[in-house]
Amino acid sequence: MIEVLDILKNQNKKSNLTTFLNPYSYCLARKHKELFKHFNIKIDGILLVKFLKFAGFDFKRESFDMTSLAPEIFNQCINEDKKIFIVGTNQQNLDQTINNIKDKFRGINIIGCRNGYFTKDERVEFIDYLVKLNPDILICGMGAVLQEEFLLDLKKSNWGGVGYTCGGFLHQSSNSLMYYPKWMDRYHLRWLYRFFKEPIVRKRILIDYPKFLFLFMYDYFKYKNK
């Protein structure tokens, strides 16, 4: 049976869909391996980077936020006149985040946005709409698994653009794009900042991260003994 570590080893880096794993989403990916194997996977979180290094993998920490890939992607879109569509969070946070992005990245071409809450019928209609609109870049922040399912369904509907999941970037950036204090980013303490600022992250760190430690070591020994 294919495991998450197998997916990371043999992943399709040429995929037009990119997602990010942290200890929490690693646990979810174990239950949705057929989904995640369609993605180019980057590692968001220094803890998972260190565990993967222990297992013989060479990953660096990359995430879709202002401390990592977001400025690079936004500037590339400006330079190449790419059309961007953004999906996720609630509409109020989304509108504020897009205003912040436009203020920071002058000339960026965001052609539309939508919150990440759908009925089943709305989801089908929205995918059809996006295929016709055909944005070059789609950024999706709907939570782990839901966002990957959405991007993959969009791709299967013959959309040929580039898709990125973005985790909590859309709601985190509603007040300011620079979510983390610089010194906490420098010392890889982003998790600690979110622990005190976001109640849902406290649950993940206290409950899901210990579960990750056990599951990762189980996967590692299973992977090494194949």
Query: One digit per residue, pLDDT tens: the chain, 226 residues?
Result: 578 999 999 887 789 999 999 999 999 999 999 999 999 999 998 999 999 999 999 999 999 999 999 999 999 999 999 999 999 999 999 999 999 999 999 999 999 999 999 999 999 999 999 999 999 999 999 999 999 999 999 999 999 999 999 989 999 999 888 877 787 777 777 777 777 788 877 888 888 899 999 999 999 999 988 7
Domain segments of the chain: what residues? Answer: 21-61+188-224, 70-172
Beta strands in the chain (DSSP E): 17-21, 40-43, 83-88, 109-114, 137-141, 162-165
The enclosing H or E element of 125 equals helix 120-133
* Class (C level, CATH) for 70-172: alpha beta
Whether the full predicted model's pTM is greater than 0.75, yes or no, is: yes
Q: Closest by alpha carbon to 156, among 167, 166, 148, 165?
A: 148
SS (H, E, C) 137-194: EEEEECCCCHHHHHHHHHHHCCCCCEEEECCCHHHHCCCCCCCCCHHHHHCCCHHHHH
Q: Is the dihedral of CA 7, 9, 15, 16 positive or negative?
A: positive
